[in-house]
Every structure is written in C-alpha cells, then in structure tokens.
Amino acid sequence: MAPNFMLILAALLVLSPFSQAYDNDPLQDFCVAVPDASAAVFVNGKVCKNPKQVTPDDFLATGFNVPANSSSTISMGFRVNVADVNRIPGLNTLGLTVVRVDFEPNGVVPPHTHPRASEIIVVLEGTIYAGFVTSNPTDGTKNRLFAKVLNPGDVFVFPAGLVHFQMNVGKTKGMGIVAFNSQNPGVISVANSVFGTDPLIEAEVLTKSFQLDKKTIDFLQSRKWS
C-alpha cells in the first residue's frame, strides 16, 4: 500500500507546476512590475503595481526598429537592444524577453549561457554562424557541437543552459531577433566568468584546468572581458 502511495505521489509531483524549470505561470491577467527601488519587499521576480494604476504604456517599448545606441559589447562587434521586464514592466510574470542583435561584419557574440531560459533567433539580415555545445557526455566522448550558417529567414534554437554563440560570417552587417522564455534569462559569458572575475580565480586553478602556463593565464586575466 505504502509503495503504491509513494509512486502516485511522485507522479503527481512530476506532473505538477512545482516541478517546472522556468518562470512561474501568471495567476492574474497581468502583474505590471514596480521598479526595484520602489519595492518594499524582495520577491522572486518583481512586485506588482496596483492594477487600477496600470496604463497601456506599461506594455509598450519603442525604438526597437534601430540598433542600440551604445553597448559594452561593441568591442566584439555586436549591439543588443533589449526589451525585458525592466523596459516593459508589463512583461512581469509573462516569461518573455525579446532582444534585437545587430552584428558588424565579423562581429561575434562569444560563447555564453543563459541559466534560466531557452533561446530562439530569427535572422533578418546577414549571414550568421550559430551553434551550441552539449553538456559533458557520460560515456567519455567529446561534447557535440550543433551549428549552422543562418541566412535571412532562418530560425535556430539554443536549449536552456547550454554554451552557445553567434558570429556574422558575411561581408555586410547582420541583424536578428532573439526571444527567451524567461523575463530574466541571465547571461554567463564563458571568458568573463573564468578570466574576468573579482577577485580573480587563483592562477594555479586555471593553469591546471586549461593546461596553460601561468604567464598565459596572467595575460588572459589582464584582458577586459565582456
């Protein structure tokens, strides 16, 4: 009797909303975000504005038809124009973020992950080489690379949490629209998280991990990563 009960309980937990890995489903029509500085409490997300004070502007962002004015990533040859919950308060609890990515020729979005979201890109301009790498196999084989050269009209998906990248391999500028299934997907840049931390990771850890000499590690840690 008891084993059957535990089996049923386990099945219910697997099928229940408590087992989901992404943003929680909304429990009302909308939950327009209050700016963090105005919030009286901290929650996993953002505090809701009084629905009676909500306006159409809470669901609107403008200027998505042009590249971002500036970006810390411009040294890599790309700019991001982000429409997230901080820009559109009405996105709160809806599990969505949209980004416009503009590439210079040879511009690259370096290897990175999004810990809280899957990603999809629609290429509208240029020729974009994009791909992701699987997690470490358990059979001793190498991580697999899944990559394609994308042209305007092509769509490519990056599974949640996996290291991925995009690069404009064409001779003209490129542009794509990216969507995430989270209002806060997060970004972990591989190079920055390894070589650009504060304080720095002890060099001995990195020399052994990457099988490089300390001089090379010191050089990599002295670089400005983004």
Same domain, 206 and 165: no
Same domain, 125 and 206: no
Residue 114 within a domain: yes
Same domain, 146 and 91: yes
- The CA R_g of the chain, rounded to the nearest whole Å, is 21
Q: How many domains does the chain have?
A: 2
Torsion angle in degrees (nearest 10) through CA of 178, 179, 180, 181: -160
Measured in residues, the chain has a length of: 226
Same domain, 31 and 53: yes
Same domain, 43 and 135: yes
Same domain, 192 and 82: no
164-168 sheet: strands from edge to edge = 145-150, 128-133, 164-168, 108-113, 188-189
Same domain, 211 and 201: yes
Same domain, 123 and 145: yes
Please tell me whether 164 is known to bind a ligand.
Answer: yes
Residue (of 146, 149, 117) closest to 133 by Cα position: 146
Same domain, 180 and 191: no
Question: For residue 147, what are the CA distances in angstroms to 128, 129, 165?
Answer: 10, 7, 9
Same domain, 165 and 104: yes
Residue 3 within a domain: no
Per-residue pLDDT tens, the chain, 226 aa: give them: 555 555 554 554 444 444 444 677 666 777 888 876 666 566 667 888 899 999 999 999 999 999 998 655 667 899 999 999 999 999 998 999 999 999 999 999 999 999 999 999 999 999 999 999 999 999 989 999 999 999 999 999 999 999 999 999 999 999 999 999 999 899 999 999 999 999 999 999 999 999 999 999 999 999 887 6
Please tell me whether 202 is known to bind a ligand.
Answer: no
Number of H helices, E strands in the chain: 4, 10
Please tell me whether 104 is known to bind a ligand.
Answer: no
Residue 24 within a domain: yes
Same domain, 178 and 218: no
Please tell me whether 204 is known to bind a ligand.
Answer: no
Residue 15 within a domain: no
78-83 sheet: strands from edge to edge = 78-83, 97-103, 174-180, 119-125, 155-158
Torsion angle in degrees (nearest 10) through CA of 178, 180, 185, 188: -40
Same domain, 111 and 136: yes
Domain that holds residue 224: 187-226
